[in-house]
């Protein structure tokens, strides 16, 4: 061996050792570097939750090995009775649709995809939800300026994604009723449920089928969703998911046919022009058909895993939908439910509790820097930063005044507020915010203001212990 070779060998060995140490460090501390690490899948360890009401579970059915369930999601119990409508926009189609095609729609026998352009995406037909709207409105109404631009870009072969902007909201409200009537007409006779979702809605296929299996959609007029109110109309929030039974559609179609489709559609176009929102229009049309909303929050709700308030309101409820979900979150939630079905089968629902234990629990055991955990229930603000209705810190106790000095002082303030119910805190110089509800929040690394956040682990553990043996809740508040 030459002297040069011997020298290279001596130098290479420590280099390899250092590289291996760096690799191990990245694996061990990956969560610290990756703010979205809570979406990384992990094996399920949660115990099986009790099944739904007896009319869903057949005790005489021979159990199928769990590993076979996930591979047969197209034939899951009740899957053939559900028709899913996904509403999106042409400007976001390529960024949001692919994840749905790789997840939910691999398990959905009956569905239609609606946008504001008639087109094909990798062989999947995309229907123009606005095509049934009167030509005069499409050609001249101010709300349809984007629609006319989309058609122009499509003709010219331009990228419609470059038109993404706020004007899509004005156009969106016109899609709801036309796409519903289109799907009613095209759905097979065996369909009992129509489920409308948006491109940023996540659906638990297993929990949805179990929930709908507890009702009789072919014979009862159900209109289900997370309740919202505009004026004197209570309606199902569109992004959280709108569910309409076959019987409800029959009653809605009967009103339309009695009035005459052309007259009916023209009347509702006038009403849509005056309304802010298409989901509110659906509620009014269904009320006219004697189908009021059955409130279904929190089983249907509009938060994400990061923004949800992890309270008793949600903890023991069956988790069916999420809203404002990014593609990475959509995929993570789908992987979670796939693992759940692999372990527990198609007749066991998962609860919000199980989602918390899988995605959040391990991440709130330590303080997080550059993190906003959405604490808002009480604010301590230094006098030089206070404004408007902010409380006067100078008249408060010593420990409340010191809470704005450091993260440790803010944590101490939360610790002293046990009787008040403090579960979490977040600190930025001169500000200490505390919260009575547990939320995870998000990274603020790219924001102008940075926070340090923490949670009271012992109190969260007490809360979890109190609800350890609760039974699954299938109905929404008021439902």
**C-alpha angle with apex 474: 468 to 475, nearest 5 degrees?**
120
Task: Tell me the average pLDDT across 229-255.
Answer: 96
User: In whole angstroms, what is the distance from residue 172 CA to residue 153 CA?
Assistant: 18
Confidence at 168, pLDDT banded by 50, 70, 90: confident
| pLDDT value of position 167 | 67
CA-wise closest residue to 210 among 384, 77, 409, 381? 77
Composition of the chain by helix, strand, coil, percent to 5 = 45, 15, 40
Does residue 419 surpass a pLDDT of 80? yes
Confidence at 158, pLDDT banded by 50, 70, 90: very high
| pLDDT value of position 71 | 55
Q: Is 42 helix (H, G, I), strand (E, B) or coil?
A: coil
Confidence at 164, pLDDT banded by 50, 70, 90: confident
| pLDDT value of position 443 | 97
| pLDDT value of position 2 | 47
Task: Tell me the average pLDDT across 224-231.
Answer: 94
Task: Tell me the average pLDDT across 437-450.
Answer: 96
Confidence at 188, pLDDT banded by 50, 70, 90: very high
| pLDDT value of position 396 | 96
Task: Tell me the average pLDDT across 367-376.
Answer: 97
Residue with tokens 């009789």: 216
For the record, the structure tokens of 264 come out as 């009916």
Do residues 422 and 411 make contact, with C-beta atoms less than 8 angstroms apart?
Answer: no
Percent of the chain with pLDDT over 90: 80
| pLDDT value of position 69 | 47
Task: Tell me the average pLDDT across 114-120.
Answer: 95
Return phi, psi of residue 16, to 5°: -65, -40
Does residue 51 surpass a pLDDT of 50? no
| pLDDT value of position 65 | 40
| pLDDT value of position 37 | 47
Options 3.40.1160.10, 3.40.718.10, 3.90.550.50, 2.60.40.10; CATH for 69-295 is 3.90.550.50
Does residue 34 surpass a pLDDT of 60? no
Quick: pLDDT tens for 132-149: 999 999 999 999 999 999
Average pLDDT, the chain: 87
Return the bridge partners of 452, or none.
369, 427
| pLDDT value of position 467 | 95
- Domain edges within the chain: 69-295, 367-466
Task: Tell me the average pLDDT across 166-195.
Answer: 92
User: In whole angstroms, what is the distance from residue 178 CA to residue 197 CA?
Assistant: 15
| pLDDT value of position 3 | 41
Confidence at 166, pLDDT banded by 50, 70, 90: low
| pLDDT value of position 290 | 97
Does residue 347 surpass a pLDDT of 70? yes
Confidence at 52, pLDDT banded by 50, 70, 90: very low
Return the bridge partners of 369, or none.
452
| 281: Cα separation from own chain's centroid | 22
* pTM, to two decimals: 0.84
Confidence at 317, pLDDT banded by 50, 70, 90: very high
Task: Tell me the average pLDDT across 68-73.
Answer: 60
Do residues 321 and 201 make contact, with C-beta atoms less than 8 angstroms apart?
Answer: yes
Do residues 383 and 390 make contact, with C-beta atoms less than 8 angstroms apart?
Answer: no
CA-wise closest residue to 243 among 183, 307, 200? 183
| pLDDT value of position 41 | 41
Q: Is 369 helix (H, G, I), strand (E, B) or coil?
A: strand
Q: What's the start-to-end Cα distance of the chain, in Å? A: 83
Does residue 13 surpass a pLDDT of 80? no
């Amino acid at each position: 061996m030459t002297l040069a070779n011997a020298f290279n060998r001596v130098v290479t060995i420590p280099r390899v050792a250092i590289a291996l140490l760096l690799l191990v460090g990245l694996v061990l501390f990956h969560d610290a570097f990756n703010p979205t690490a809570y979406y990384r899948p992990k094996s399920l360890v949660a115990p099986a939750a009790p099944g739904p009401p007896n009319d869903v579970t057949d005790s005489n059915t021979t159990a199928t090995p769990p590993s076979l369930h996930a591979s047969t999601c197209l034939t899951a119990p009740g899957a053939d009775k559900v028709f899913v409508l996904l509403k999106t926009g042409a400007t976001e189609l390529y960024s949001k649709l692919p994840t749905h095609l790789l997840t939910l729609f691999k398990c959905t026998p009956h569905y239609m995809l609606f946008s504001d352009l008639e087109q094909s995406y990798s062989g999947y037909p995309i229907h123009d939800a606005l095509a049934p709207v009167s030509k005069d409105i499409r050609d001249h109404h101010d709300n349809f300026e984007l629609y006319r631009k989309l058609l122009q870009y499509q003709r010219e072969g331009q990228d419609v994604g470059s038109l993404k902007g706020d004007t899509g909201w004005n156009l969106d409200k016109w899609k709801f009723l036309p796409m519903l009537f289109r799907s009613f007409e095209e759905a097979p006779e065996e369909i009992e449920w129509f489920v409308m979702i948006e491109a940023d809605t996540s659906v638990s296929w297993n929990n949805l089928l179990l929930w709908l299996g507890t009702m009789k959609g072919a014979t009862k007029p159900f209109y289900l969703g997370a309740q919202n109110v505009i004026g004197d109309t209570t309606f199902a929030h569109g992004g959280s998911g709108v569910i309409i039974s076959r019987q409800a559609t029959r009653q809605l179609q009967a009103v339309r046919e009695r009035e005459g489709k052309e007259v009916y559609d023209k009347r509702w176009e006038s009403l849509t022009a005056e309304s802010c929102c298409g989901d509110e229009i659906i509620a009014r049309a269904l009320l006219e058909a004697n189908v009021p909303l059955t409130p279904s929050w929190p089983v249907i709700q509009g938060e994400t895993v990061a923004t949800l308030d992890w309270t008793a309101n949600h903890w023991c409820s069956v988790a069916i939908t999420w809203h404002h979900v990014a593609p990475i979150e959509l995929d993570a939630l789908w992987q979670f439910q796939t693992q759940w079905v692999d372990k527990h089968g198609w007749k066991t629902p998962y609860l919000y509790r199980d989602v918390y234990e899988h995605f959040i629990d391990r991440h709130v055991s330590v303080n997080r820097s550059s993190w906003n955990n959405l604490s808002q229930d009480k604010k301590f603000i230094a006098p030089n930063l206070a404004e408007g209705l902010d409380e006067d810190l100078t008249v408060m106790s010593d420990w409340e005044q010191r809470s704005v000095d450091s993260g440790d002082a803010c944590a101490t303030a939360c610790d002293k507020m046990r009787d008040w119910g403090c579960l979490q805190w977040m600190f930025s110089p001169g500000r200490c915010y505390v919260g009575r509800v547990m939320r995870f929040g998000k990274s603020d690394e790219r924001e102008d203001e940075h926070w340090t956040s923490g949670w009271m682990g012992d109190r969260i553990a007490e809360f979890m212990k109190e609800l350890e043996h609760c039974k699954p809740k299938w109905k929404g508040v008021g439902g």
